[in-house]
Amino acid sequence: MEPINRRKFLKTNAVLGAGAVAGLTSFGTLSHVVSDIETPALLGGTPIRTAAWPKWPRWDSEKDEELILKVLRSGVWSRDKVVEEFETKWAETLGVKRCLTVVNGTNAIIAALVQSKIGGGDEVIVSSYTFIATIVAILQTGAMPVFVDSDPDTFQLDATKIEAKITSRTRAILPVHILGLPADMGKIMKIANTHNLIVVEDACQAWLAEFNHQKAGTIGHAGCFSFQNSKNLPMGEGGAIVSNDDEFMDRCFSYHSYGFPYGNIGATNVSAVLAGTKLRLSEYQAAIGLTQLTRLHAETDLRSENAAYLRSKIEPIPGISPYVLYPGVTKASFHLFPFRYHSEAFKGLPRAVFLKALQAEGISCSSGYVPLNDKLYLKDAFDSKNYRKMYKKKDLDFEAFIAKNQCPQTDLLCNETGVWLSQNMLLGSKKDMDDIANAIQKIHDNAEKLLEVTA
């Protein structure tokens, strides 16, 4: 790899990041005078749709605002009874013994790994098609991420490729239920049990999702959730760790409050018992979470229903492969609705133009994640003082790492085929789903004409 000017690199990535966000929210050009429904909107025709999509997040101005104002007026804003109430409700909802809220999903994963005694020199086998937070959480513990390729039909980590990645240093598997579609937990738990590995589930997109009627996040030794603004259970920022292991959860609690003994959040005249940090959720965040929780079941059911309907509508379109769920999946949470786009069936129209054309029809969409297994943030970790002390030089050879962590299926999903629709769109009507299907069909029928557009 060529040495890259660091400041230039940071700047380039910042610009790309902004573009990716804009892509997801763009609604295309909506002002057309003549009604020409046959011509692609991108070429000046009338868009399939000009109506807005359901907004996110949403709240009930009367009931929700009252609850949040009550917290404000109480003057108790730091962790107390409301946070406890949310933790109790979330654990009950999932059917798990314990829940501890923390500041965000990223730190939920870090805390769960650290309190599973994972650190420098350990290897953590992880999904390669995921959000960056999953991988940076591993790096924060000092452990080495080991990327597993994806199953392109399901967008999840390919469980049949896990065992080949196990070495004498493997300590944990970190499966991600990416997009809210559960990973193949039956196979994953079997492998973990055979090889005596810890399983920490990244359920940061999988609220209420289920595998064999067991909630995502409660199947492994620990599960981690995110309540960030865009998530299906939003608080602005927030996260949680869940587990049935009391001793582990006591340690997580202690870790999240300066390392003070379990249960202590106020007193300062006590001795800390472990090397902790500060990750506590505040009362008004928990209040927002409680209000959102009252709608989560109904919204999850609506997303599932609309996803299944939309899936059935787009599956017959040549070149479109909607997500597949594993046979064990009894519920998905659909943080995103994914499908694969095969340009061969669209006269070779590049995905970038397809997305542009879909946006012009009034259907917001995006190309999703970028590959994570070869990026400079890894090199930055490898160059750090701690990594240089904890690993042999050959383990930190960036080129060798990239060669060992190739994930061709993930590369295809990221660079060529993956398309996402965001969860708020699934809160619409059947007619809204028809709009999406009709827009995709329209682009398919006009692929030839769209070839003149450059991405």
Ligand X SMILES: *Cc1c(COP(=O)(O)O)cnc(C)c1O
- Chain contacts with ligand X (rule: CB under 6 A): 104-106, 130-131, 133-134, 176, 178, 202, 204-205, 226, 228, 239
CB 241 within 8 A of CB 253: no
Report the C-alpha gap between 50 and 37 in whole angstroms.
Answer: 12
Q: Compute the distance between CA of residue 21 and CA of residue 104 in angstroms, rounded to an integer.
A: 20
- Minimum distance, C-beta of residue 131 to ligand X, in the bound complex (Å): 4
Residue 144: how many other CB atoms lie within 10 Å? 25
> What residues have CB less than 8 Å from 321, skipping those under 6 apart?
153, 315, 339, 340, 342, 417
Rounded to the nearest whole angstrom, what is the least distance from the CB of residue 132 to ligand X in the complex? 8
> Cβ closer to ligand X: 155 or 258?
155
The residue written with tokens 């007026």 in the block is 73
- Tell me, rounded to whole angstroms, the distance of Cα 269 from its chain centroid: 40
Nearer to ligand X, 154 or 226 (CB): 226
Give the nearest distance from C-beta 330 to ligand X in angstroms.
21
Nearest approach, Cβ of residue 181 and ligand X (Å):
12
Alpha carbons 19 and 24: distance in angstroms, whole number:
9
Instruction: Please state the closest distance from residue 438 (CB atom) to ligand X, in A.
Output: 30
> Distance (Å, rounded) from C-alpha 100 to C-alpha 83?
9
**Listing from the earlier edge strand, what are the strands of the sheet with 210-211?**
214-215, 210-211, 329-331
Closer residue to ligand X, CB minimum distance, 138 or 357? 138
Would you say 226 or 422 has its CB closer to ligand X? 226
Q: Taking CB positions, which residue lies at the least distance from ligand X? A: 105
Residue with smaller CB distance to ligand X, 331 or 335: 335
Q: In the bound complex, what is the minimum distance in angstroms from residue 32's beta carbon to ligand X?
A: 36
Q: Based on CB atoms, which residue is closest to ligand X, 48 or 94?
A: 94
d(CA 83, CA 351): 44
Report the nearest approach of ligand X to the CB of residue 355 (Å).
Answer: 21
For residues 46 and 154, which CB has a smaller minimum distance to ligand X in the complex?
A: 154
Handedness of CA 26, 30, 36, 42 (dihedral sign): negative
User: 151 or 435: whose CB is closer to ligand X?
Assistant: 151
Please enumerate in sequence order all residues whose Cβ is within 8 A of that of 27, keeping only pairs 6 or more positions apart, or say none.
Answer: 52, 359, 362, 364
Distance between CA 135 and CA 367 in Å, rounded? 20
Percentage helix, strand, coil for the chain under 3-state DSSP, each rounded to 5: 45, 15, 40
Least Å distance, CB 204 to ligand X, is: 3
DSSP H or E segment with residue 235: none
Q: How far is the CB of 40 from ligand X (least distance, A)?
A: 32
Nearer CB in complex with ligand X: 48/329: 329
